[in-house]
Amino acid sequence: MTPPNTARRRETSRRAILTAAFDLLQEVEYAKLSIEGIAARAGVGKQTIYRWWPSKGAVVLDAFLMLSEGAEGEPIRLPDTGDLAADLTEVLRATVVELTDARYEQPMRALATEIAHDPELAATYAQRLDGPLREAKRQRLRSAQLAGQLADDLDLDVAVDLIWGPLFQRWLHRGGPLTTDYTDRLVATALDGLRPRR
Protein backbone atom coordinates (compact mmCIF):
# COMPACT_ATOMS: atom_id res chain seq x y z
CA MET A 1 0.00 0.00 0.00
CA THR A 2 1.16 3.55 -0.70
CA PRO A 3 1.65 5.47 2.56
CA PRO A 4 -0.87 8.35 2.89
CA ASN A 5 1.84 11.03 2.82
CA THR A 6 3.28 9.70 -0.42
CA ALA A 7 -0.18 9.61 -1.98
CA ARG A 8 -0.78 13.19 -0.88
CA ARG A 9 2.55 14.36 -2.30
CA ARG A 10 1.78 12.62 -5.57
CA GLU A 11 -1.60 14.30 -5.83
CA THR A 12 0.02 17.69 -5.12
CA SER A 13 2.59 17.11 -7.88
CA ARG A 14 -0.10 15.90 -10.28
CA ARG A 15 -2.18 19.04 -9.76
CA ALA A 16 0.90 21.29 -10.06
CA ILE A 17 1.81 19.64 -13.39
CA LEU A 18 -1.71 19.96 -14.81
CA THR A 19 -2.03 23.57 -13.69
CA ALA A 20 1.38 24.38 -15.17
CA ALA A 21 0.46 22.81 -18.54
CA PHE A 22 -2.80 24.74 -18.66
CA ASP A 23 -1.18 28.03 -17.70
CA LEU A 24 1.67 27.61 -20.19
CA LEU A 25 -0.80 27.07 -23.03
CA GLN A 26 -2.01 30.60 -22.50
CA GLU A 27 1.52 31.89 -23.03
CA VAL A 28 3.06 29.70 -25.74
CA GLU A 29 1.62 28.00 -28.79
CA TYR A 30 1.01 24.30 -28.44
CA ALA A 31 3.87 23.30 -30.78
CA LYS A 32 6.28 25.06 -28.41
CA LEU A 33 4.86 23.53 -25.22
CA SER A 34 7.43 21.04 -23.91
CA ILE A 35 7.51 18.49 -21.12
CA GLU A 36 10.66 20.28 -19.88
CA GLY A 37 8.77 23.57 -19.74
CA ILE A 38 5.86 22.04 -17.84
CA ALA A 39 8.25 20.35 -15.38
CA ALA A 40 10.13 23.59 -14.74
CA ARG A 41 6.92 25.55 -14.14
CA ALA A 42 5.48 22.84 -11.87
CA GLY A 43 8.73 22.41 -9.93
CA VAL A 44 9.01 18.69 -10.63
CA GLY A 45 11.51 16.56 -12.52
CA LYS A 46 10.57 15.86 -16.14
CA GLN A 47 10.90 12.12 -15.49
CA THR A 48 7.87 12.40 -13.21
CA ILE A 49 5.80 13.64 -16.14
CA TYR A 50 7.16 11.02 -18.54
CA ARG A 51 6.31 8.33 -15.96
CA TRP A 52 2.69 9.42 -15.58
CA TRP A 53 1.68 10.51 -19.09
CA PRO A 54 2.43 9.06 -22.54
CA SER A 55 2.34 12.44 -24.37
CA LYS A 56 1.84 16.15 -23.82
CA GLY A 57 -1.63 15.76 -25.35
CA ALA A 58 -2.49 13.37 -22.51
CA VAL A 59 -1.33 15.99 -19.97
CA VAL A 60 -3.60 18.61 -21.56
CA LEU A 61 -6.56 16.20 -21.54
CA ASP A 62 -6.00 15.49 -17.84
CA ALA A 63 -5.79 19.23 -17.16
CA PHE A 64 -9.29 19.61 -18.62
CA LEU A 65 -10.51 16.63 -16.61
CA MET A 66 -9.17 18.25 -13.43
CA LEU A 67 -11.09 21.44 -14.29
CA SER A 68 -14.31 19.49 -14.76
CA GLU A 69 -13.82 17.64 -11.46
CA GLY A 70 -15.32 20.61 -9.63
CA ALA A 71 -18.79 19.11 -9.86
CA GLU A 72 -17.75 16.39 -7.35
CA GLY A 73 -19.08 13.40 -9.20
CA GLU A 74 -22.48 14.89 -9.95
CA PRO A 75 -23.57 14.14 -13.49
CA ILE A 76 -23.65 17.08 -15.90
CA ARG A 77 -27.17 18.31 -16.69
CA LEU A 78 -28.41 20.67 -19.36
CA PRO A 79 -31.15 23.15 -18.38
CA ASP A 80 -34.64 21.70 -18.76
CA THR A 81 -37.38 24.32 -18.50
CA GLY A 82 -39.64 22.39 -20.85
CA ASP A 83 -38.87 24.87 -23.67
CA LEU A 84 -36.30 23.00 -25.74
CA ALA A 85 -35.50 25.81 -28.18
CA ALA A 86 -34.91 28.29 -25.33
CA ASP A 87 -32.76 25.81 -23.39
CA LEU A 88 -30.59 24.90 -26.40
CA THR A 89 -30.23 28.55 -27.36
CA GLU A 90 -29.00 29.33 -23.84
CA VAL A 91 -26.56 26.39 -23.86
CA LEU A 92 -25.11 27.28 -27.26
CA ARG A 93 -24.67 30.92 -26.31
CA ALA A 94 -22.82 29.80 -23.15
CA THR A 95 -20.68 27.42 -25.21
CA VAL A 96 -19.58 30.29 -27.44
CA VAL A 97 -18.57 32.31 -24.38
CA GLU A 98 -16.46 29.35 -23.20
CA LEU A 99 -14.92 28.65 -26.63
CA THR A 100 -13.82 32.25 -26.99
CA ASP A 101 -12.68 32.74 -23.37
CA ALA A 102 -8.99 33.73 -23.44
CA ARG A 103 -8.21 31.31 -20.60
CA TYR A 104 -9.59 28.28 -22.42
CA GLU A 105 -9.37 28.93 -26.12
CA GLN A 106 -5.73 27.96 -26.77
CA PRO A 107 -5.81 24.89 -24.48
CA MET A 108 -9.05 23.74 -26.15
CA ARG A 109 -7.57 24.22 -29.61
CA ALA A 110 -4.51 22.24 -28.53
CA LEU A 111 -6.66 19.41 -27.23
CA ALA A 112 -8.87 19.42 -30.34
CA THR A 113 -5.91 19.15 -32.68
CA GLU A 114 -4.05 16.52 -30.63
CA ILE A 115 -7.15 14.33 -30.74
CA ALA A 116 -7.20 14.71 -34.51
CA HIS A 117 -3.75 13.12 -34.76
CA ASP A 118 -3.82 10.64 -31.87
CA PRO A 119 -6.50 7.91 -31.97
CA GLU A 120 -5.67 6.70 -28.45
CA LEU A 121 -6.09 10.18 -26.98
CA ALA A 122 -9.32 10.55 -29.00
CA ALA A 123 -10.68 7.40 -27.36
CA THR A 124 -9.82 8.65 -23.86
CA TYR A 125 -11.35 12.02 -24.67
CA ALA A 126 -14.54 10.42 -26.01
CA GLN A 127 -14.88 8.28 -22.93
CA ARG A 128 -13.89 10.57 -20.08
CA LEU A 129 -14.44 14.18 -21.17
CA ASP A 130 -16.85 14.26 -24.09
CA GLY A 131 -18.78 11.13 -23.01
CA PRO A 132 -20.51 12.58 -19.92
CA LEU A 133 -21.26 15.83 -21.79
CA ARG A 134 -22.72 14.00 -24.77
CA GLU A 135 -24.84 11.90 -22.41
CA ALA A 136 -26.23 15.11 -20.86
CA LYS A 137 -27.10 16.45 -24.33
CA ARG A 138 -28.78 13.18 -25.25
CA GLN A 139 -30.76 13.22 -21.99
CA ARG A 140 -32.09 16.71 -22.67
CA LEU A 141 -33.19 15.69 -26.15
CA ARG A 142 -34.69 12.45 -24.79
CA SER A 143 -36.74 14.46 -22.31
CA ALA A 144 -38.10 16.59 -25.19
CA GLN A 145 -38.76 13.45 -27.20
CA LEU A 146 -40.80 11.95 -24.34
CA ALA A 147 -42.78 15.21 -24.21
CA GLY A 148 -43.65 14.79 -27.91
CA GLN A 149 -41.53 17.77 -28.96
CA LEU A 150 -39.11 15.71 -31.04
CA ALA A 151 -39.74 13.03 -33.64
CA ASP A 152 -40.27 9.55 -32.16
CA ASP A 153 -37.79 7.90 -34.49
CA LEU A 154 -35.07 10.54 -34.06
CA ASP A 155 -31.51 9.22 -33.77
CA LEU A 156 -30.33 11.16 -30.71
CA ASP A 157 -26.65 10.86 -31.64
CA VAL A 158 -27.26 12.38 -35.05
CA ALA A 159 -29.37 15.07 -33.36
CA VAL A 160 -26.56 15.97 -30.94
CA ASP A 161 -24.11 16.16 -33.86
CA LEU A 162 -26.49 18.41 -35.84
CA ILE A 163 -26.72 20.95 -33.05
CA TRP A 164 -23.13 21.02 -31.82
CA GLY A 165 -21.10 19.91 -34.88
CA PRO A 166 -21.58 23.12 -36.91
CA LEU A 167 -20.63 25.27 -33.93
CA PHE A 168 -17.47 23.27 -33.32
CA GLN A 169 -16.41 23.46 -36.96
CA ARG A 170 -17.03 27.20 -37.22
CA TRP A 171 -15.02 27.74 -34.06
CA LEU A 172 -12.12 25.45 -34.96
CA HIS A 173 -11.76 26.68 -38.54
CA ARG A 174 -12.75 30.28 -37.87
CA GLY A 175 -15.31 29.87 -40.64
CA GLY A 176 -17.35 32.88 -39.55
CA PRO A 177 -18.30 34.98 -36.53
CA LEU A 178 -19.66 33.16 -33.48
CA THR A 179 -22.55 35.51 -32.85
CA THR A 180 -25.76 34.87 -30.93
CA ASP A 181 -27.51 35.40 -34.25
CA TYR A 182 -25.60 32.38 -35.57
CA THR A 183 -26.22 30.09 -32.58
CA ASP A 184 -29.93 31.04 -32.44
CA ARG A 185 -30.39 30.33 -36.16
CA LEU A 186 -28.49 27.07 -35.78
CA VAL A 187 -30.86 25.83 -33.05
CA ALA A 188 -33.96 26.96 -34.95
CA THR A 189 -32.81 25.41 -38.23
CA ALA A 190 -31.81 22.11 -36.62
CA LEU A 191 -35.19 21.85 -34.89
CA ASP A 192 -37.26 22.80 -37.94
CA GLY A 193 -35.09 21.30 -40.67
CA LEU A 194 -34.27 22.75 -44.07
CA ARG A 195 -37.53 21.84 -45.79
CA PRO A 196 -40.56 24.13 -45.69
CA ARG A 197 -42.90 23.48 -42.72
CA ARG A 198 -46.44 23.48 -43.98
Binding residues for a copy of itself, rule: CB under 8 A, are 29-31, 109, 112-113, 115-117, 119, 122-123, 125-126, 130, 141, 148-152, 154-155, 157-159, 161-162, 164-170, 172-176, 182, 185-186, 189-197
In the complex, minimum distance from the CB of residue 79 to a copy of itself, in angstroms, rounded to a whole number: 17
Q: Which is nearer to a copy of itself, 20 or 84 (CB)?
A: 84
Q: Which is nearer to a copy of itself, 67 or 191 (CB)?
A: 191
In the complex, minimum distance from the CB of residue 114 to a copy of itself, in angstroms, rounded to a whole number: 8
Residues 6+ apart with CB under 8 A from 10: 2
Q: Which is nearer to a copy of itself, 14 or 171 (CB)?
A: 171
Q: Which is nearer to a copy of itself, 51 or 173 (CB)?
A: 173
In the complex, minimum distance from the CB of residue 130 to a copy of itself, in angstroms, rounded to a whole number: 8
Q: Which is nearer to a copy of itself, 44 or 104 (CB)?
A: 104
Angle (CA) 67 70 71, round 5°: 130
Residues 6+ apart with CB under 8 A from 88: 140, 163, 187, 191
DSSP codes, 139-179: HHHHHHHHTTSS-TT--HHHHHHHHHHHHHHHHHHT-S---
In the complex, minimum distance from the CB of residue 172 to a copy of itself, in angstroms, rounded to a whole number: 5
In the complex, minimum distance from the CB of residue 2 to a copy of itself, in angstroms, rounded to a whole number: 35
Count CB atoms within 10 A of the CB of residue 144. 21
In the complex, minimum distance from the CB of residue 193 to a copy of itself, in angstroms, rounded to a whole number: 3
For residue 194, the SS3 value is coil
Could you tell me if residue 177 is left (phi over 0), alpha (psi between -120 and 50 degrees) or otherwise beta?
beta
Cα(50)–Cα(37) distance, rounded to whole angstroms?
13
Cα(106)–Cα(79) distance, rounded to whole angstroms?
27
Q: Which is nearer to a copy of itself, 6 or 127 (CB)?
A: 127
